[in-house]
Amino acid sequence: MAKSNKAKARQPANRLWGGRFKTGPAEAMERINASIGFDQRLWRQDITASRAHCRMLISRKIIPARDGKAILKGLDAVWKEIESGRFHFRTALEDIHMNVEDRLTTLIGDAGGRLHTARSRNDQVATDFRLWVRDAVDGIEARLADLQAALIGRAREHAATIMPGFTHLQTAQPVTFGHHLLAYVEMFGRDRGRMRDARARMNECPLGAAALAGTSFPIDRKMTAKELGFDRPMANSLDAVSDRDFALEFLAAAAIASGHLSRLAEEMVVFSSERFRFLRLSDAFSTGSSIMPQKRNPDGAELVRAKTGRVMGALTALSVVMKGLPLAYSKDMQEDKEPVFEGADTLALTLEVMTGMVADMTVNAEAMRAAADGAFSTATDLADWLVREAGLTFRQAHHVSGRIVRLAEEKNLRLDQVSLADMRSVEPRITKDVFGVLGVERSAASRVSEGGTSPARVRKAIAAAEKRYLGGRRKKAL
């Protein structure tokens, strides 16, 4: 193997950078060094940034206008070749930048070699990658908004649908299903905020930092930054080529969003089970069993839950790559793109699947209400009544309510089925008025505090969520 690699190393040196070298890299080195297998996804961003750079070079008279026009025309031709699938990506040219430049030079001749004036692959890739991540952020935020719209649409349908609220996955108090769904609307709203925050911080332009120290050519970095939609050039050339905070921050926001998706997916798995029967996922997002004909498996939800690991893993992978790198650029940073690509692709797919599941799931309101009616879910309402009407301290009321729950459990009754006489045997100050707070509908309706679960509050929260997250436009479930 060593002999084979040595023989391979006698190939000609790379003509775009090989002046310093007598021969090219070993075959194994070529394979580990090349990134074209994955970074070809940056082709749109690479050509867009090159156009901006070329126009700046023309404007500053750094290259002849004639050559600049030829470069721009050649870049248009390369764009069309890649877009149509006719472009041949070559591993020997390592990456998208050199593939584009090589093809450009083939098309227009030596003038193509002027494009790289006053820039390096270091600032070139940093710019391209920021542009790609910025586009990814915009796409993810739009998908998050679609999911919020679907959740809000279903919440409107079920603003008064009673279900048990859970802590520790044990029945706690009655809530409405609309209120439950709106909790996820808030989670995904924060995810959108994190995406916007990440976008604002990444929206600075590295182009013009060159390899690490800037350039001696009289470039106009503000011009290229503006043309590419950045707010400003990055302030420090060393930071510009070595920073990958923007990618880490995107993956961190993506990991948190994926965690929220996983929580919702877990509830779909649980709530669609035979033991709950709260939900039924449509055929479009369910699968069957190869051996058990009766099975309906919530595989869409399970895969959303599982793929969270990919996004969280991508964040970990890139964090490890970056943790010990000195300034400025190191080849380690070539490993930044695959985790980001995978994280973005995975999150986009799971958002699409979750939006579909939310939009067309069937809600079993009867099963939800029956579950809320059991497990003594109105015990807190009993305790609150004892505080308000009987004058007990809350700790006293908590103790009394617990004793009545135990009595109901022993007699296999719901709380509202325990006789007044039995309740008064525990606490003589209880009157028949207590039964007015023991129904699940009244319990939910009584939670009128801001952010509470009463149907009236939920309807107000829906209107507020539409205004905050959907621009005030009412959207139906997708």
DSSP conformation letters of 8-48: HTTSPPPTTTGGG-SS---HHHHHHH--HHHHGGGHHHHHH
158 assigned to active site: no
b/e 340-358 (16+ beta carbons within 10 angstroms → b)? bbbbbbbbbebbebbbbbb
Please give the Cα distance from 263 to 301 (Å, whole number). 10
Please give the Cα distance from 263 to 266 (Å, whole number). 5
Please give the Cα distance from 203 to 216 (Å, whole number). 25
289 assigned to active site: yes
**pTM of the entire predicted model:** 0.91
Give the position of tokens 């309402």.
Answer: 381
Per-residue confidence (pLDDT) for residue 7, from 0 to 100: 44
Distances (CA, A) of 346 to 104, 193, 311, 474: 33, 20, 7, 28
The region that residue 158 occupies, defined by phi over 0 for left and psi between -120 and 50 for alpha, beta otherwise, is alpha
Helix axes 43-59, 65-84, angle to 10 degrees: 170
138 by DSSP, 3-state: which? helix
Distances (CA, A) of 477 to 108, 196, 263, 295, 457: 52, 24, 20, 27, 20
Pairing of strands 279-280, 362-363: antiparallel
Per-residue confidence (pLDDT) for residue 131, from 0 to 100: 98
Which of the following is catalytic: 168, 216, 290, 449? 168
Q: At 77, give phi and psi (nearest 5°).
A: -65, -45
Residue whose C-alpha is closest to residue 26's, from 13, 36, 39: 13
Per-residue confidence (pLDDT) for residue 464, from 0 to 100: 96
pLDDT averaged over consecutive 10-residue blocks of the chain (478 residues)? Answer: 46 60 78 89 98 98 98 98 96 93 97 97 97 98 97 97 94 95 98 98 98 97 98 98 97 98 97 95 81 81 96 97 94 94 98 96 96 90 93 95 94 92 93 92 93 96 96 53
Residue 349: half-sphere exposure toward Cβ, Cα within 13 Å: 16
384 by DSSP, 3-state: which? helix
Residue whose C-alpha is closest to residue 381's, from 428, 430, 436, 418: 436
Which of the following is catalytic: 289, 330, 419, 425? 289
Residue 215: half-sphere exposure toward Cβ, Cα within 13 Å: 20
Please give the Cα distance from 374 to 414 (Å, whole number). 6
